[in-house]
Amino acid sequence: MAGSVILIIALSLFGLAVAFFYMKKVTSIPIDLGLNPEESGKLKAIHGAIAEGAMAFLKQEYKVLLWFVLGFAVVIGLLTDNAETQGTNEGWYTAFAFIYGAAISILSGYIGMKVATAGNARTTVSARNGLADAFGVAINSGAVMGFALVSLATLGMISIYLVMKHLLVDVPNNVLMEVIAGFGLGGSTIALFARVGGGIFTKAADVGADLVGKVEKGIPEDDPRNPAVIADNVGDNVGDVAGMGADLFGSCAESTCAALVISAVAFASDVNAMVYPIMITAVGIVVSLVTKIVSQMLVTVSAEDKVGKALKMLLGVSTALMVVAIYFVTTMMIPATFEINGVAYTNMGVYWCFLAGLLAGLAVGFLTEYYTSTEYAPVREIAKSCETGAATNIIFGLALGYKSTVLPYIAIAIAIFTSWHLAGMYGIAIASIGMLGTLVIALMIDAYGPVADNAGGIAEMAGLDKEVRRRTDILDAAGNTTAAIGKGFAIGAAILTSLALFSAFITSAQSLMRALPKYGADYNLVNHITLLDPVVYTALFIGAVLPFLFSAMTMKSVGSAAFDMIEEVRRQFRTIPGLMEGTGRPDYATCVAISTKAALREMIAPGVLIIGTPLLAGFLFGVQAVAGILAGSLVAGGVLAISSSNSGGAWDNAKKYIEKGNHGGKGSECHKAAVVGDTVGDPLKDTSGPSLNILIKLSAILSLVFAPFFVNFGGQLL
């Protein structure tokens, strides 16, 4: 076994140990630390309800997914072998890799959810001792998620690589890598359902809780009398922890798979160079641990303004360390010069691709912050527009979202152009891994957010001191800003990953086609995916409407799921005696069950759309149609994703800005207009926007895995 392979395994196991360490650190805190018996009882009950609700949802979701994954694995096994082209029959190996990837994604989500629901109440009780303690618990909970997920990803990828290399000895390298791409597809399929389902769950609960509780009944947010309040808190975990984790696990697995498929051509016999993409992520584990320790020493969360600083310090230090570390990794693992398809590249070029991705990711992240933070002009302009009513607020918010796509797209375009120039399609894949370079830290901060948010809800519901809630609110607010940056990274990485997968798909399809007599060994697929080809251009149009249809479906799903929830909450207020007075006990579990049921019901149709469209188009119109659809949906989907997220984020923060007392403050006409914007933005920023990331990536990796199917059986109507 090559030294680099051993090192990756060692780093992965080390990362798991770190995750375990932080897990212990969190759970070692007594859940009712310093509370009197009455408070303790209340808190335990609430904490239990949230944890149970979250697990109940996951269990239901995984039950559905189990059957889907098994069924789809059979489809993969049957359709993706290369018997007709390369004489190999590796479809069932791909199916196995698919199940393996799905299983690891599920495991990561499960761990994240476990620690998030363990950390929330502990953050609450620690907040009684001060900001620093609470921050420590929340960020350590996030760290468990970050280290566990990334370590499982690298361990999963290196192990599937080793297993498949061992099992498929006579198979060409590129076919081997296609089998491994099944791993990425598995992760991405889970991500699809986790993102869409989680997004619908969380928004249905949120809207239901707000509309009946806050608006109709006039009780405050997170009031324990509100039957949907537990579902709302469960939703934060389901959407922002499990959904987001699955999404980023998918990105990580997919960009690595794309890089592996391309490097299979370049580094056929050089194992070190081949596993370099996995090594980047594995090195990130150590770098992140060092970052966490160093940041803790540099910033003590002693006061309100230090929280944001501490989070940004984490991002800054990890970026700087990665820039240095990957320089050495690259020069050691990649040959000084190498060739892909006859073009010569250098290892320094590859390093610059990594940097291009990392910098573009930072740029997109900070642009997201610029467009969605109350600190800058765009959100303040939105807030001001509320003075002339809800309609102007919506118009300005939509315009902001549209406009905010320009600079991120230019940043991504520059990254694409330079890395393509420096290392071809391999460069794009490396750039996308670069964009995920600080993945552990990104996950840590992302999971920190819902933990802090939940902690505030628990404090409120358990009736703890106001000061506790104030402290958790500070943690939550700082988390929102950095979460916006993380969202930017996620979209950027999805776009680059998808582009790399697209090129891997073309490379793979071309080599399969060349083996068929009807195309011949000289067939150049690239010359058949031009902008003047009727099939390609027509498919480009079809691809471009996919994200819009998908968004429409998920937006309306939130609407109808929220409707079910509203009905149930109204029913409880009507039929349970003494609920409003605080003497009756609300039926939290039914609300959780309703959100669960709605989420599972509504996630099917968009899922079928994303998976079915490329398969059907390829079957009917062949590889060219698939290529057109991928390009169309990538280009249009990316714009829509960024604009949806940013419009939603800006409306949310414009409302918060007004609530701070600007433009008339809470309760004014202006505030009412802002609330309309916030409600419109919720499904955009938390459901349809982030789900588009998955659409972009999933259709691309799906096409890569099904390339043999398209080549052998595609184009029935041509």
Q: How far is the CB of 380 from a second copy (least distance, A)?
A: 15
**What ranges make up the beta strands (E) of 387-500?**
none
Alpha helices in 80-172 (DSSP H): 83-86, 91-127, 131-167
Chain centroid to CA 257: how far?
A: 17
Q: How far is the CB of 199 from a second copy (least distance, A)?
A: 14
- The answer to the question of residue 664 lying near a second copy (CB under 8 A) is no
Contact 707, 179 (CB under 8 A): no
Angle at alpha carbon of residue 67, lines to 65 and 68, rounded to 5°: 60
In the 8-state DSSP scheme, what is residue 438? Answer: T
Contact 494, 696 (CB under 8 A): yes
Alpha helices in 224-376 (DSSP H): 229-236, 244-266, 271-274, 276-298, 306-333, 347-372
State the DSSP string of 190-238: HHHHHHHHHHHHHHHHHHHIIIIIIIII-PPTT-TT-TTHHHHHHHHII
Residues 417-456 that bind a second copy (CB under 8 A): 417, 420-421, 425
Q: How far is the CB of 66 from a second copy (least distance, A)?
A: 31
- The answer to the question of residue 534 lying near a second copy (CB under 8 A) is yes
Contact pick of 60, 272, 538, 590 for a second copy (by CB under 8 A): 538
Q: How far is the CB of 38 from a second copy (least distance, A)?
A: 39
Closer to a second copy by CB, 127 or 617: give it: 617
Angle at alpha carbon of residue 169, lines to 168 and 174, rounded to 5°: 70
Residues 73-102 that bind a second copy (CB under 8 A): none
**What ranges make up the beta strands (E) of 550-607?**
none
- The answer to the question of residue 531 lying near a second copy (CB under 8 A) is yes
Residues 167-226 that bind a second copy (CB under 8 A): 211
Contact pick of 305, 324, 339, 541 for a second copy (by CB under 8 A): 541
Closer to a second copy by CB, 523 or 563: give it: 563
Residues 375-394 that bind a second copy (CB under 8 A): 385, 388-392, 394
Residues 550-589 that bind a second copy (CB under 8 A): 551-553, 555-556, 558-559, 563, 566
Q: How far is the CB of 562 from a second copy (least distance, A)?
A: 8
* Cα–Cα distance for residue pair 389/507, rounded to 1 Å: 53
**What are the beta bridge partners of residue 82?**
88
Closer to a second copy by CB, 304 or 533: give it: 533
Contact 400, 382 (CB under 8 A): yes
Contact pick of 302, 337, 530, 575 for a second copy (by CB under 8 A): 530
Using the CB atoms, write b or e for 230-249: b if 16+ within 10 Å: bbbbbbbbbbbbbbbbbbbb
Part of the chain binding a second copy (CB under 8 A), chosen from 2-10, 60-68, 460-468, 625-633: 625-633
Cβ neighbors of 430 (< 8 A, separation 6 or more) are 259, 277, 280, 350, 353, 354, 357, 419, 423
Contact 641, 611 (CB under 8 A): no
Per DSSP bridges, beta strands 343-346 and 337-340 are antiparallel
Please report, as a single letter, which amino acid is at residue 509. A
- The answer to the question of residue 268 lying near a second copy (CB under 8 A) is no
Chain centroid to CA 595: how far?
A: 21
Part of the chain binding a second copy (CB under 8 A), chosen from 91-99, 361-369, 542-550, 574-582: 542-550
Q: How far is the CB of 264 from a second copy (least distance, A)?
A: 18
- The answer to the question of residue 632 lying near a second copy (CB under 8 A) is yes
* Cα–Cα distance for residue pair 309/132, rounded to 1 Å: 13
Contact 213, 228 (CB under 8 A): yes
Contact pick of 406, 580, 608, 620 for a second copy (by CB under 8 A): 406
Residues 341-380 that bind a second copy (CB under 8 A): none
Closer to a second copy by CB, 41 or 667: give it: 667
Closer to a second copy by CB, 183 or 396: give it: 396
- The answer to the question of residue 716 lying near a second copy (CB under 8 A) is no
- The answer to the question of residue 523 lying near a second copy (CB under 8 A) is no
Part of the chain binding a second copy (CB under 8 A), chosen from 86-94, 502-510, 589-597, 662-670: 502-510
Closer to a second copy by CB, 148 or 379: give it: 379
Closer to a second copy by CB, 303 or 410: give it: 410
* Cα–Cα distance for residue pair 663/661, rounded to 1 Å: 7
Q: How far is the CB of 197 from a second copy (least distance, A)?
A: 18
Q: Give kind and range of the element (H or E) at residue 395.
A: helix 390-403
- The answer to the question of residue 9 lying near a second copy (CB under 8 A) is no
- The answer to the question of residue 402 lying near a second copy (CB under 8 A) is yes
Q: How far is the CB of 395 from a second copy (least distance, A)?
A: 6
In the 8-state DSSP scheme, what is residue 335? Answer: -
- The answer to the question of residue 545 lying near a second copy (CB under 8 A) is yes
Part of the chain binding a second copy (CB under 8 A), chosen from 7-15, 162-170, 473-481, 498-506: 498-506
**Residues near a second copy (CB under 8 A), total:** 73
Contact pick of 92, 110, 548, 713 for a second copy (by CB under 8 A): 548
Q: How far is the CB of 529 from a second copy (least distance, A)?
A: 5
- The answer to the question of residue 529 lying near a second copy (CB under 8 A) is yes
In degrees rounded to 5, what are phi and psi of residue 338?
-155, 170
Q: How far is the CB of 172 from a second copy (least distance, A)?
A: 21
Q: How far is the CB of 363 from a second copy (least distance, A)?
A: 14
Contact pick of 28, 36, 269, 527 for a second copy (by CB under 8 A): 527
* Cα–Cα distance for residue pair 259/456, rounded to 1 Å: 42
- The answer to the question of residue 628 lying near a second copy (CB under 8 A) is yes
Residues 503-522 that bind a second copy (CB under 8 A): 503, 506
Residue 455, by phi and psi: left (phi above 0), alpha (psi -120 to 50) or beta?
alpha
Tokens read off for 575: 């039929």
552 C-beta neighbours (distance < 10 Å), count: 13
- The answer to the question of residue 689 lying near a second copy (CB under 8 A) is no
Secondary structure (3-state) at 1: coil
